[in-house]
């Protein structure tokens, strides 16, 4: 590549590029205006605002879609395309043209009629899903789910794919990732996680009711439960969460935390990243870990360079990469011994009555309990991915026409039995537990497990480049890790597809081995299993 300066490149690309930037900026502004309304919707809006808010959000989405898919954008991209081969592919200009082409192509391929029908059916389906879940009534939801799968299948045909219609759906969340890669990754994970869950379950059963707990027994259920199941007042929990965020390097000048029913992160502007948390009075770790999780998402958003703002590059590389950041902070850091060496005294200062006298080892074991449970969002590190793998396998089977939607509840329960050894007592604790399918988000679930796998691959790379990170964490210097992530991951925004980003950061393709080694080492030690 030539040593051209950005100014030279820009003047060569001329007016079409400047005009493209202008339009993309406006599209981004419309999206951010919608984000403010959504944030308010989920935090402070009174119930009565719902109908009016939905209307405004619909209008903003339509305007932004029209603007982005206009013929003018198509013409500008066509004018700029020949220059692509001459530009540095990792530079701002080439990346912007490339990513805009991808997004534009995707939107143009979907007929407006289909997009509108998906929006209408999913909005109806969500309301029905809420009701069906409450009443444990799958047949009520079934026709909507059938319709949503049919629409997803249709969308896949319009979007196009090389091997599998699921590729087209997956690509919406994880650009470039293939179904076959997910299937092989998940097969590897399943082969080692299912036996591990079984071994842990067996080890727990050998530990007695009331019997002598050995070394492993300290991980024990009773110990964990009683420690965490005490009353922790809300003000104290709030303060503890803020301390964790400050230690992580969350910039309160460029963001804030509020409360909401379901924790989330949303970007209102490059200098205004919002997160929310939910406080559970009898378990302080619930809010703490959700705060660290959303904090991890927020550090990513805060770490994206302002030069990428108001363009499609000013966001995360993918959902999976985003989740790698939240999981890294929540689990790899937040559930580590090093973190609690630093953080237990902090927690004891705020909750002396509840936590005074507790050792690092005891809290470490308490926050790492493994439990076979029905609900994905409450699952521990070891069982979590099995919940995701099950969903992936089922949605693939339905999409391929191999499994009728009417058979989903039974198929779900069978897989729960097979992977986790438990059977949901009803559909609300089974097939109806997640909102995703009702929103038409088919192909989304794999990104959660991808995030877990990537979190450890990035972590291992950070350790190899800066071996002092774990000791720094034990001293409360969490910013050492944050700075590394800023430099190596966040700085690229959405310039590269996840595959290229992972290769660039770790020098290797996506690899489940570091993750599996991390899980096995950690939990074999916790549960006193031989290796």
Q: Give the interface with Zn ion as residue ranges (CB under 5 A).
A: 326
Distance from C-alpha of 382 to C-alpha of 263, rounded to nearest angstrom: 22
- Measured CA to CA in angstroms, residue 18 lies from 9, 11, 15, 65, 394 at distances of 12, 9, 5, 20, 46
Helices (H), 110-233: 112-134, 138-159, 165-173, 179-206, 221-228
Q: Which is nearer to Zn ion, 452 or 457 (CB)?
A: 452
Length of the chain: 531
CB of 316 to Zn ion, least distance (A): 11
Angle between helices 479-488 and 446-465 in degrees, nearest 10: 110
Closer to Zn ion at the Cβ: 100 or 326?
326
Closest CA to 473 of 244, 255, 275: 244
Phi (first) and psi of residue 128, to 5 degrees: -65, -40
Query: How would you classify residue 14: left for phi > 0, otherwise alpha for psi between -120 and 50, otherwise beta?
Result: left
Angle between helical axes of 50-68 and 6-43 (0-180°, round to 10): 160
Looking up tokens 């339509």, which residue turns up? 62
Catalytic residue among 294, 330, 395, 520: 294
Active site residue 371: no
Distance CA 307, CA 314 (A): 8
The SS3 of residue 255 is strand
Nearer to Zn ion, 311 or 326 (CB): 326
The CA-CA-CA angle for residues 292, 191, 204, to 5°, reads 65
CB of 361 to Zn ion, least distance (A): 29
Q: How far is the CB of 297 from Zn ion (least distance, A)?
A: 6
Shortest Cβ 330–Zn ion spacing (Å): 8
Closest residue to Zn ion, judged by C-beta, is: 326
As a whole number of angstroms, the distance between CA 481 and CA 488 comes to: 11
Q: How far is the CB of 353 from Zn ion (least distance, A)?
A: 32
Q: Please list the residues that pair with 256 across neighbouring strands.
A: 274
For Zn ion, give the closer residue by CB, 38 or 326. 326
| Nearest-approach distance from CB 315 to Zn ion, in angstroms | 14
Closer of 444 and 523 to Zn ion (Cβ): 444
Beta carbon of residue 114, minimum distance to Zn ion (angstroms, whole number):
28
Exposed e or buried b for every residue in 170-194, given b needs 16+ CB within 10 A? Answer: bbbbbbbbbbebbbebbebbbeebb
Residues 6+ apart with CB under 8 A from 307: 92
Residues assigned a catalytic role: 294
């Amino acid at each position: 590549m030539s040593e051209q300066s950005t100014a030279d490149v820009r003047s060569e690309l001329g007016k079409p590029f400047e005009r493209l930037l202008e339009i993309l900026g406006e599209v981004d502004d419309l999206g951010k205006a919608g984000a403010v309304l959504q944030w308010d919707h989920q935090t402070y809006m009174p119930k009565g605002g719902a109908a009016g808010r939905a209307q405004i959000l619909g209008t903003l989405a339509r305007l932004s879609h029209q603007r982005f898919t206009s013929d003018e954008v198509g013409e500008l991209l066509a004018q700029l395309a020949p220059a692509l081969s001459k530009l540095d592919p990792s530079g701002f200009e080439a990346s912007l043209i490339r990513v805009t082409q991808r997004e534009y192509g995707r939107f143009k391929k979907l007929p407006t009629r289909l997009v509108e029908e998906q929006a209408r059916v999913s909005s109806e389906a969500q309301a029905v899903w809420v009701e069906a879940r409450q009443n444990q009534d799958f047949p009520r939801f079934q026709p909507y789910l059938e319709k949503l799968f049919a629409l997803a299948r249709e969308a896949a045909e319009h979007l196009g794919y090389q091997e599998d219609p699921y590729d087209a759906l997956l690509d919406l969340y994880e650009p470039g990732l293939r179904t076959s890669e997910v299937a092989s990754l998940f097969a590897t994970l399943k082969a080692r996680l299912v036996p591990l869950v079984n071994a842990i379950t067996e080890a727990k059963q050998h530990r007695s009711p009331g019997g002598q707990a050995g070394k492993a027994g300290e991980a024990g259920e009773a110990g964990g439960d009683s420690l965490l199941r005490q009353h922790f007042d809300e003000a104290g929990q709030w303060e503890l969460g803020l301390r964790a965020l400050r230690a992580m390097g969350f910039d309160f000048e460029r963001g804030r935390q509020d409360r909401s029913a379901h924790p989330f992160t949303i970007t209102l502007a490059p200098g205004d990243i919002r997160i929310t948390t939910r406080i559970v009075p009898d378990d302080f770790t619930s809010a703490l870990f959700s705060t660290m999780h959303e904090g991890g998402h927020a550090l990513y958003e805060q770490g994206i360079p302002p030069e990428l703002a108001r363009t499609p590059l000013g966001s995360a590389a993918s959902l999976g990469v985003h989740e790698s950041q939240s999981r890294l902070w929540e689990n790899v850091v937040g559930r580590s011994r090093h973190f609690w060496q630093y953080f237990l005294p902090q927690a004891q200062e705020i909750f002396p009555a509840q936590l005074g006298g507790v050792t690092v080892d005891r809290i470490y074991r308490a926050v790492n309990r493994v439990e076979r449970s029905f609900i994905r969002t409450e699952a521990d590190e070891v069982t979590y991915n099995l919940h995701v793998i099950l969903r992936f396998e089922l949605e693939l089977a339905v999409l391929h026409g191999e499994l009728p939607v009417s058979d989903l509840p039974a198929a779900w329960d069978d897989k729960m039995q097979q992977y986790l050894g438990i059977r949901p007592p009803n559909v609300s604790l089974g097939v109806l537990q997640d909102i995703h399918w009702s929103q038409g988000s088919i192909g989304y679930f794999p990104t959660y497990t991808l995030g877990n796998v990537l979190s450890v691959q990035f972590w291992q790379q950070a350790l190899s480049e800066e071996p002092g990170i774990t000791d720094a964490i034990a001293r409360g210097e969490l910013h050492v890790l944050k700075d590394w992530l800023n430099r190596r991951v966040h700085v690229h925004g959405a310039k590269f597809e996840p595959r290229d980003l992972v290769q660039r950061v770790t020098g290797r393709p996506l690899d489940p081995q570091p993750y599996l080694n991390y899980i096995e080492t950690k939990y074999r030690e916790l549960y006193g299993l031989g290796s």
